[in-house]
Structure 1
Amino acid sequence: MEMTKKELPVKVIQYGEGNFLRAFVDWMIDILNEKGDFNGSVAVVQPLENGLINLLNEQNCDYHHVRQGLENGEKVDDIRKITCISKAINPFTDTQSYFDLATEPEAELVFSNTTEAGIAFDENDKPAAGQLAVTYPGKLTQLLKARFDHFHGDHDKGLAIIPCELIEQNGTKLKECVSQYVSTWGLGADFQNWVDHACSFANTLVDRIVPGYPKDEIDSLLARIGEPDKLVVKSETFHLFVIEAEDKVKELFPADKLGLNVKFVKDITPYRTQKVRILNGAHTSMVPIGLLYGLETVSETIEDQETGKLIHELIYDEIVPTIQIPNEDPKEFADAVIARFQNPFIRHELISISLNSIAKFKVRVLPTFKDYIAAKGELPKRITFSLACLLKLYTSGEFNLKDDQSNLDFFESIKVLNSKDLVFKALSNTDFWGEDLTAIAGLTDQVIDHFDSISSSAMKEVIYNI
């Protein structure tokens, strides 16, 4: 006989009730319950004073997930009722219920998404007995200490902690914060030893576009759902969860065995490089090209005959060759990225992606540019063209760009110069790139040529001749 979620033991403690975790981790847990033998429920903890816990409880902790996008060239538009959450706790108003989670005998996993600023240590965070800590790492330390005490230091009752915050080495940094609290609060060597050896902290990379509550189409979606739901959450079809963790975590969270795109790896670094270079790098590279061409969205840019061909070549011929992942082909990730760019259900505005494009180019594109030169002994012509378009974009005065004011002021000051001097001053600005790009053989002349072509010819003709 199938158990109801109230009868399922709490196996997951989750900090965060926002759109991302509900469209990512909870969606996976729901599938694990249906198709696997996970047989566990999720207890959700609201990490901030204001949140959605009341709404969750009003709906018996159920909600619907809308998954839309392209898979194998076919449109996907499906709705799943997520029923794996059994408890939703606001620790600010019900502190005791929060601490009671420490006594859940079958709890094994902790997931979190408390924003990039959530994983931080605050030396002034010193709660009195029974009082709630301010930071997420502080609250987690309190929960772990309560669990340690309740189970008398039993190493079989440790937790596998899997943060989803978008910072590098998120698990390592979270553990450092917990250890700082253990020391600051004087919780003892025995407890620190339990944290070190009974618990584990994974480093992760998460990837899924989650627009959130689909207010523009909610009426039609609710008609399909057939019941009220104030917590409908929409996401793309693509998902990637890369977890660098101890082997036991793979057993506790066997999502990879059910066809979900979850990878347990020894080193997360090449996967992060792949995402930053292919997905984020292609976004950053296409923005100035698409905007100067007169396009508005990512999908328009990838579908256009000229710009689409250029972006395809930039990705497959210039970015992909710079990435090496053992036993994997980055072209497969690139194929998925193209499908995501083509997603007809998401309108991704180029102008919104253009935010802070100078800093993004330095982090997302420049390493690829330099690795390509090192490997091929020549400039990547499409990335070079994108760089020229970036300079043209910032000096055209035709777009409402958002960037650091000093960057905008710099371009305002040089846009009156002739193209040769303008390009030289921009490429030699070490504050932008961390180095003088005019030192790269042939780059300045090529960028000047492209810059002049963009100024004097139609973009379609310029791109055709790249």
Structure 2
Amino acid sequence: MEKLNYDVIKKVGYDGYLLKEAPEKVMQFGEGNFLRAFVDYWFDLANEKADWNGKCCLVQPIAQGLSDMINEQEGLYTLYLRGSENGQKVDDKRVISSVSRCLNPYEKAGYEAMMELAASDELEIIVSNTTEAGIQYDPSCKKDDCPPSSFPAKLTQVLYHRYQAGKKGIIMLACELIDNNGKELLKCVNQYIEQWGLEDGFKKYVNEDCTFCGSLVDRIVPGRIRDEKEVAELEQKHGYTDPLLDVGEVFGVWVIEGDEKLNDVLPFKKAGLSDKVFVVPDMSPYKKRKVRILNGAHTGFVLGAYLAGENIVRDCMHDDVIKGFMNKMLYEEVIPTLPLDKDDLLKFAAAVSDRFNNPFVNHELMSISLNSTSKWKARNMPSFLEYVKEQGKLPVCLTMSLAAYIAFYSNDIQELTDAGLICRRPAGNEYTVSDDRWVLEFYYEHRDASAAELVHEVLTNKKMWDQDLTGIEGLEKAVIEDLEKIRREGAKAAYAGCL
């Protein structure tokens, strides 16, 4: 069977949207599963729905990558968006044609092609997702490296070449999962301008003519299909092989921070995608929405759910008690504390239930449990403190989630190993708690403490919470009672008691 390319897709009679030739308007640093299921998908829809007529030229951020495979398939690949939407199973296939080619700048020809594109009249946008470690200043990078190792240094070279060619400034869309990703990237570029002694005119070009936007990306991308039998069945159905086949969840939102005028260049509003990809002056409320509702829901219910015998997020959504606990926490305790339109928040929370109920993803509770101390502090504690401040009382479910966190970290502790803290579930099987070493050592040292003693030590631990939580009226007593109930009656009964 032949590999996917434009001739093959024509032969098999594919009747979906395709665009073979168009100017390269986007330079994209990163060619992995996420960007191809997210950014390139939105640009593909813009081509179809707004006649944007643009292509994305991908650049490998590291020496080993997918450039050969992508070029062999002429930029084409199959994308499946799978999940649950309004309670209905979704399994949509689309062949993405927004990618023109992929450059490897670690080869001479690829580096030269990157610089040629940098000076192009058609180039308007640069996108990046080079992992959380990608936006870092590395002083060992030199102006004449071909290429320098760090992404911000490569970007500085690209922008300098564009500046020297007298071309207009670009829009930079950073997608890395760090706070203030656009501002941090600009800061690194300015450091290279200083280090390399580049002229003031270029510094002005970067900081005034170019627009560095932060952005918030939200789509779970499992990537490749691991079931070989399913892969073989899909190849038969498609009539071609596609080693670049990608899979993402159907839900997707891209929040871009910047001026409304960006919509004159970005094609998403014209394509009718304003509910999925949109520009806002401040994305922090949307980040707060994601962290407190989506991530906060995970950390808020999974630890108790695991002790109650569940293993996968989807199964929790089919348990009336656990789902009821999550919903009460979100709708009555979290959403009222958030500074966004209530209808928007309710829609987002409803989408969370659909996402957790994705029939195609087996999201394990134990994988979510990693580093739950810092996660509870970042995801749940702000909602908890806001609720106490606004309502003058304790939020029942968030208080129980704190007790469930303590229960998970202290349930029948067996030993502390290099791998983590070994505990035992009520059902009898052992599980490994993974967190910072000092957290694990704390729980191991308190393994023989009573519920009251342990809760006191946890709540007064300022290293964990940056404050003494026993100062919150009634909290210590409530958490002790909740922890004792979890230990005595089980986590599910404790959750049921909150409803």
The TM-score, its normalising length taken from structure 2, stands at 0.89
Q: For residue 34 of structure 2, give the secondary structure of its aligned residue in structure 1.
A: helix
Query: Hey, what's the Cα distance between the residues in 2 that align with 1:327 and 1:373?
Result: 20
Distance in 1 between residues matched to 2:98 and 2:493, nearest whole Å: 54
* Residue deviations 1:110-137 (CA, integer Å, cap 9, x gap): 1110011111111221142x62122111
* 1:341 counterpart = 2:356: yes
Tell me the distance in 2 between the aligned counterparts of 1:6 and 1:67. 22
Instruction: Give per-residue Cα distances to partners, 1:371-405, cap 9 Å, x unaligned.
Output: 00001111011011111111111111212111112
1:18-417 matched pairs, under 5 angstroms:
18-93=32-107, 94-128=110-144, 131-151=146-166, 154=167, 157-216=168-227, 217-260=230-273, 261-325=276-340, 329-396=344-411, 397-398=423-424, 399-417=431-449
Distance 2:100 2:377 in 1: 45
Q: CA deviation at 1:326?
A: 5.2
Q: Which whole-Å deviations, capped at 9, do the CAs of 1:248-289 have from their partners, x for residues lacking one?
A: 321211213434301210111111111100001111111211
Q: How far does residue 7 in structure 1 lie from its aligned partner after superposition? A: 3.3
Runs of 4+ in 1 over 4 A off after TM superposition: 3-6
Aligned counterparts of 1:461 and 1:149: Cα–Cα separation in 2: 68
Q: By how many angstroms is 1:327 displaced?
A: 8.0
Shift of 1:168: 1.2
Distance verdict in 2 for CA 1:440–1:40, change over 3 Å? same
Distance 1:73 1:464 in 2: 24
Separation in structure 2 between the aligned mates of residue 48 and residue 229 of structure 1, nearest angstrom: 23
Letter of the 1:102 partner, please give it.
A
Pick which of 231-240 and 241-250 moved more.
241-250
Q: Distance in 1 between matches of 2:356 and 2:479?
A: 27
* Structure 1 CA distance for aligned equivalents of residues 98 and 318 of structure 2: 39
SS of aligned partner of 1:132: coil
Q: Distance in 2 between matches of 1:460 and 1:204?
A: 38
State the shift of 1:461 in Å.
Answer: 2.8
User: Which residue number in structure 1 is paired with residue 13 of structure 2?
Assistant: none
Query: What is the RMSD of the two structures over their aligned residues, measured on CA atoms?
Result: 1.6
Q: What TM-score, normalized to structure 1?
A: 0.95
Cα distance between partner residues in 2 of 1:327 and 1:395: 37
Match of 1:17 in 2: 31
Pick closer, same or farther for the CA change 1:6–1:345 going to 2, 3 Å: closer
* 2:22 equivalent in structure 1: 8
Instruction: Give the stretch that moved more between structures: 213-222 or 356-365.
Output: 213-222
Q: Which one-letter code corresponds to 1:284 in the other structure?
A: T
Distance in 1 of aligned mates of 2:92 and 2:236: 13
Which amino acid counterpart does residue 170 of structure 2 have in structure 1?
L
Distance across 2 between alignment mates of 1:195 and 1:226: 47
For residue 328 of structure 1, report the CA deviation from its aligned partner: 5.6
Whether the 8 Å contact between 2:259 and 2:280 is mirrored in structure 1 is no
Which residue in the other structure is 2:4 paired with? none
| Pairs within 5 Å for 1:443-454 | 443-454=475-486
In the aligned structure 2, how far is the partner of 1:361 from the partner of 1:244? 27
